[in-house]
Amino acid sequence: MKQPSVIAAALTVALAFTTFTADAQDGHRVRVAIEGAFPPWNALDSHGQLQGFDVDLIHDLCRRAKVECQLESGAWATLVPGLNVGKYDLVMTLGINEKRKKVVDFTVPYASGVASFLVLKNGPLASMPMRGERLNLNDKTRADPVMATLGAMLKGKTVGVVQSTSHEQLMKTYFGDDVTVRTYRSSAERDLDLKAGRIDAGFDSGVYARSVMAKPSNDTLINAGPDLKGAMLATDVAMGMRKGETRLKATFDAAITAAVHDGVIRQLSQKWSKMDLTPDLP
């Protein structure tokens, strides 16, 4: 027998689909922006085709929504501006935080992750404490002493982040002028500088960091320090849309909720990241 929450989710899906598919029947395409340079979330294969967790998931969600989705890749820093000028309808892999809420609306989260440091295995930052342990920055009694220790170790160092991310916000908020924050257009571009010793650390999605370390070509890198959540970090990942797109939001909220309840998000996230990224939804 189905649980009441599952039945309610199914009804919500049906109602949302009813309100949105009229546009789809008129030939409406949902234009979905995906960076294409952030494995295992998304990447371009050797043929230039998009692949990854985001790609498998959006195909599933669009099937549930009964809409035709057109996937387009682009540089990360251009995706939200492109969304707000009408180039796209949705942006994938957009972490939820208060700053972004002023600019876009979000679906419910479709994944929940952490943020981590990548450093050279034989470098001085490899000894950062709490490696692989989760630390919620909102638990200030526990987190503040750890962040003070990290700040002392990072003082005078250069940390690479992707521009226009919550990782950049955190580095500047917590460590200020004590740390040089160097921004990059993509994680892969930053990693080249890290491996070459031109920067001291990278700060990025924990899922991304683990996927990088799994490749033989990156055997000089290691995940160091705690896996961070909370504060301004956008570790709950959703799709962003222009403000006021209520029908689009309702449709994809319902599709994501259904994919959570039937285990598809767990299955796909474990396939691509070896981690269960299922978000906590009602």
- Tens digits of residue pLDDT in 145-202: 999 999 999 999 999 999 999 999 999 999 999 999 999 999 999 999 999 999 999 9
Percent of the chain surpassing pLDDT 70: 90
CATH class of 115-229: alpha beta
How far apart CA 117 and CA 119 sit, in angstroms, is 6
pLDDT in the model for residue 3: 41
Asked whether the predicted pLDDT for residue 36 surpasses 80, the reply is yes
Q: Which two tokens stand for residue 255?
A: 């599709």
Please give the pLDDT value at position 25.
35
Summarised one tens digit per residue, pLDDT across range 90-145 is 999 999 988 899 999 999 999 998 999 999 999 999 999 999 899 999 999 999 99
Superfamily of domain 4-112+236-273: Periplasmic binding protein-like II (3.40.190.10)
Same fold, 4-112+236-273 and 115-229: yes
Give the other-Cβ count within 10 Å of 156's Cβ.
9
Average pLDDT, the chain: 90
Closest CA to 84 of 248, 249, 244, 242: 242
**Residue ranges per structural domain of the chain:** 4-112+236-273, 115-229
pLDDT digits 0-9 by tens, 211-224: 998 889 999 999 99
pTM above 0.85, yes or no: no
Please compute the mean of the pLDDT values over residues 44-48 and round it to a whole number: 94
